[in-house]
Amino acid sequence: MLLKSHIAIILIILSALIAACQQAQLIDDKAGVVASRATIDPDYMDIVLPPNIAPLNFRIQENGERFLVRLSGNDAKPIIVTSRNGDIRFPLKKWRHFLFIHRGQDIRYDIYIKKSGQWCKYESFSNRVADETIDSHLVYRLINPAFKYWTKMGIYQRNLQSFEEKAIITNKMTDGNCMNCHNFCANDPDNMVFHMRVGAGSGTYISVDGKWSKVNLKTEFNAGGAYPSWHPNGKKIAFSVNSLTMFYHSVGESRDVLDRTSDLFVYDVETNVISTAPPIADINRMETFPAWSADGRHLYFCAAQPLEEYIDEQTQDLSYDHIRYDLMRADYDIESDEWGHAEVIVPAQKTTASAILPRPSPDGKYVLFTMARYGSFPIYHDHSDLYLFDIASGEYRRLTINSDETDSFHSWSSNSRWFVFTSKRRDGLLGRPFFAYIDQNGDVHKPFLLPQKDPEFYATFIINYNVPELVNGPVDVTAHELVRIANDQNHTRRARLDPRVSPRPQRDNEEIDALYKARPKG
């Protein structure tokens, strides 16, 4: 009896597939031809997509009574999706099989719309399925766009092969504190770091091979850590230590951030020791955004002159929009734990712009970074663009995929064929994750938006995606485990300062304000 029911279900499914194909063929035979493409949102036309990405569902933004999309290729039966409202949702299992069959090939989309009883066929478009996969998961922070309502946030992970999203931790479980700056060692979800700020849970949370601990990084040299970067050997993490102040403009994007002073240091995960050296912590520079090279023998970072260099001696006005950062690189000897020469590789004096957020590719070929007109906080600047530095040639270029809005924080997939970045190109307000393919010649292809099950998701979701990081698996920790660690004050490790490092007097914001009486104007 059970076997008969299974056979009946299979026959019904086959009948439906045959009927859909026949319907599509009938429509194709009778449809009038429209010499233009239908408008779809998100724009998933003419892109290169990973063979393991979730269905790129979209909405057809044309008037009509009925809608049909046929997705076809050379080596599998077409996928046919019909709709009454223009929402096109591809079945997950069929989509996965279809992309797997067509790796390295073009796939074609045919769109039909019924208007006033007559079917019309719009101009077809094609996408290419890459041979190379993308890392399976994306980790990001979700945070409100309005600065007064930042108190609700969390760090989440999304399975890029499906639509499953899971919270790693949210601050409703930790008294509404700030949590930020998550980073991974070589795209490994078992080796992660992030910070909690304010309250009893304050500290730096580090996972080594999936085992979590909380560390207090404050020493006589540094007041905690900020932007992190794991050394590829998994034993050290470079941090910046910053004094960030938000200020406001009277027109345009009101928010802006000033970094008043900053240094870099390195935390040894095994010995619990913090060290630094003049090449990465020069008292005559402000250093920030450390990023280890793929082989661990160089540390990339950004550096600007001390803040007092931008203050007018007579008026005490601070020319904040003149603060520009060089992109630098310091040599590091892994065996001896010694620092060597530090050099400027993208000078602000030449570019008349500020180079920030360097991220070296895992294959050692490139450094992806952002350039803006000034400063070190690109997410508030619509003039922030992505650039690619070729390590072998020493040349860099502005990527053609940039928009007229903010294009900023970025990270690489472990195979160096994909990167993700945040962009406000949809509305000028909200940061969204976009993915781009970079081929063997270094050409970067048109980016596409993180797919969602509901094609109209982004029309109503008014939360920022922040700090997207690609990882090659899920972060295997529960929020309750992290909360337990946050509340266990007896097991917080206190980092020690390397005796070779001279303590540096720590200034709080009031002391810095007294030293630098100038205020940004704008």
Which regions of the chain carry the CATH code 2.120.10.30?
137-497
Which parts of 269-364 are beta strand (E)? 273-275, 286-292, 298-304, 326-333, 338-346, 354-360
Position 23 scores a pLDDT of: 53
Residue-wise pLDDT for 160-201, tens only, equals 999 999 999 999 998 888 899 999 999 999 999 999 988 778
Please report, for residues 107, 143, 255, 375, 384, the alpha-carbon distance to residue 249 in angstroms, rounded to integers and kept in the order given. Answer: 47, 21, 6, 14, 17
In CATH terms, the superfamily for domain 137-497 is TolB, C-terminal domain (2.120.10.30)
378 confidence band (pLDDT: 50, 70, 90): confident
Q: List the structure tokens of 402.
A: 């940039």
Which regions of the chain carry the CATH code 2.60.40.10?
17-129
Position 17 scores a pLDDT of: 44
pTM: 0.91
Residue 291: count of CB within 10 angstroms of its CB: 24
Which parts of 249-337 are beta strand (E)? 255-268, 273-275, 286-292, 298-304, 326-333
Residue 357: count of CB within 10 angstroms of its CB: 29
101 confidence band (pLDDT: 50, 70, 90): very high
Burial letters 174-186, b for 16+ CB under 10 A, else e? beebbbbbbbbbb
Position 4 scores a pLDDT of: 55
| CATH fold label, 17-129 | Immunoglobulin-like (2.60.40)
How far is the C-alpha of 516 from the C-alpha of 510, rounded, in Å? Answer: 10
Residue 130: count of CB within 10 angstroms of its CB: 23
505 confidence band (pLDDT: 50, 70, 90): low
- Average pLDDT for residues 273-287, to the nearest whole number? 95
Position 250 scores a pLDDT of: 74
Q: Please answer whether residues 267 and 292 qualify as being in contact, where contact means their C-beta atoms are separated by less than 8 angstroms.
A: no
- The answer to which of 49-53, 242-246, 308-312, 358-362 has the lowest mean pLDDT is 242-246
Which parts of 31-177 are beta strand (E)? 32-33, 40-41, 48-49, 58-60, 66-72, 79-83, 87-88, 106-115, 118-121, 125-129, 137-143, 153-159, 165-170
Residue 309: count of CB within 10 angstroms of its CB: 12
Residue-wise pLDDT for 69-91, tens only, equals 999 999 889 999 999 999 999 99
Position 502 scores a pLDDT of: 84
Please report, for residues 307, 318, 373, the alpha-carbon distance to residue 321 in angstroms, rounded to integers and kept in the order given. Answer: 12, 9, 8
pLDDT at 32 over 90: no
Residue-wise pLDDT for 301-353, tens only, equals 999 999 999 998 888 889 989 999 999 999 999 999 999 999 999 999 999 99
Position 200 scores a pLDDT of: 75
Average pLDDT over the chain reads: 90
